[in-house]
Amino acid sequence: MFETITSAPADAILGLTDAFKEDLNPNKINLGVGVYKDGGGQTPVLATVKEAEQRLLCSEATKSYLPIDGLAEYGRLSQQLVFGREHPILREGRAATVQTPGGTGALRVAADFVRRIIPQATVWLSDPTWPNHPNVFGSAALEARSYPYFEAPTNRVAFDPMMAALETIPKGDVLLLHGCCHNPTGADLSPQQWQAVASVCANRGILPLLDFAYQGFGDGLDEDATGVRIVADHCRELLVATSYSKNFGLYNERVGALTLVADSAEAAEAANSHMKICVRTNYSNPPAHGGQIVAEILGDHELRSRWEKELAEMRNRINDMRHLFVETLDERGTGRDFSFIARQRGMFSYSGLTPAQVQALRERHSVYVVGSGRINVAGMTEANMDYLCEAIADVLK
Ligand code: LMR
From the CB of residue 368, how many other CB atoms can be counted at a distance below 10 Å?
A: 22
Could you tell me the mean pLDDT of each successive run of 10 residues in the chain, 397 residues long?
Answer: 93 91 96 94 96 97 97 98 96 98 98 97 97 97 98 94 98 98 96 98 98 97 98 98 98 98 98 98 98 98 98 97 96 90 93 94 96 94 96 94
What confidence score (pLDDT) does residue 255 get? 98
What confidence score (pLDDT) does residue 10 get? 87
Among 37, 246, 276, 307, the active-site one is 246
Q: Could you name the CATH architecture of 65-299?
A: 3-Layer(aba) Sandwich (3.40)
**Cis before 26 (ω within 30):** no
CATH fold match for the domains 12-45+315-396 and 65-299: no
Distance from residue 108's CA to the centre of ligand 1 (Å): 15
Q: Which atom of ligand 1 is nearest to the CA of 34?
A: 3
d(C-alpha 39, C-alpha 386), whole Å: 14
41 in Cβ contact with 296 (< 8 Å): no
d(C-alpha 157, C-alpha 192), whole Å: 13
Considering only CA atoms, which residue is closest to atom 2 of ligand 1?
A: 34
> Exposed, middle or buried by CB within 10 Å (0-12, 13-18, 19+), for 163?
middle
Distance from residue 152's CA to the centre of ligand 1 (Å): 22
Q: Which atom of ligand 1 is nearest to the CA of 376?
A: 3
Burial 300-323 (b: 16+ CB within 10 A, else e): beebeebbbebbeebbebbbebbe
CA 331 to chain centre: 32
Distance from residue 137's CA to the centre of ligand 1 (Å): 16
347 lines ligand 1 (CB under 6 A): no
Considering only CA atoms, which residue is closest to atom 6 of ligand 1?
A: 34
d(C-alpha 214, C-alpha 90), whole Å: 22
Please give the backbone phi and psi of residue 350, each rounded to the nearest 5 degrees, phi first: -90, 120
d(C-alpha 372, C-alpha 128), whole Å: 9
β-bridge partners, 151: 156
183 lines ligand 1 (CB under 6 A): yes
130 lines ligand 1 (CB under 6 A): yes
- Domain 12-45+315-396 annotated CATH 3.90.1150.10: yes
287 in Cβ contact with 253 (< 8 Å): yes
Q: What does the radius of gyration of the chain's CA atoms come to, in whole angstroms?
A: 21
> Exposed, middle or buried by CB within 10 Å (0-12, 13-18, 19+), for 92?
middle
- Asked if 246 is an active-site residue, the reply is yes
C-alpha triplet 51, 52, 55: angle, nearest 5° = 90
> Nearest to residue 241, comparing CAs of 123, 372, 374, 161?
123
What confidence score (pLDDT) does residue 222 get? 98
CA of 40: how far to CAs of 129, 248, 396, in Å? 30, 18, 28
d(C-alpha 294, C-alpha 46), whole Å: 12
241 lines ligand 1 (CB under 6 A): no
Residue 143: its H or E element: strand 143-148
Q: Which amino acid is at 75?
A: G
Domain locations along the chain: 12-45+315-396, 65-299
What confidence score (pLDDT) does residue 333 get? 87
109 in Cβ contact with 258 (< 8 Å): yes
